């Protein structure tokens, strides 16, 4: 996974507890921030799938290059 995707992934993971607990007081939020919670979950899933897709494409290029050089 790319280092930029890892940094964004960390921010998404930190956003999940912030949706439920107020950072100023440390108390539970009465109505939690559902948009932040589900947005963070969706962002994490998207980053994981996109990182896997990028790695797969990179491996395909490396394998194709290796196969061409053997001939």
Neighbour tally for 43: CB within 10 Å: 16
Q: What share of the chain is helix, strand, coil (3-state, %, to 5)?
A: 75, 5, 20
13 in Cβ contact with 40 (< 8 Å)? yes
For the segment 23-63, what is each residue's pLDDT rounded down to a tens digit?
889 899 989 999 999 999 999 999 999 999 999 999 998 88
Tokens coding 20: 């439920």
pLDDT band at 65, cuts 50/70/90?
Answer: confident
Which residues have C-beta within 8 Å of that of residue 11, sequence separation ≥ 6?
none
Q: What pLDDT score was predicted for residue 64? A: 85
Q: What pLDDT score was predicted for residue 1? A: 73
Q: Taking 70 as the threshold, does the pLDDT of residue 70 lie above it? A: no
């Amino acid at each position: 996974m790319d280092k930029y995707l890892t940094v964004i992934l960390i921010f998404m993971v930190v956003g999940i507890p912030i949706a439920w607990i107020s950072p100023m007081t440390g108390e539970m939020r009465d109505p939690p921030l559902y948009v932040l919670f589900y947005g963070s979950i969706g962002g994490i899933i998207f980053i994981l799938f996109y990182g896997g897709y990028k790695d797969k494409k990179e491996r395909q290029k490396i394998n194709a290059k290796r196969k061409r050089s053997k001939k």
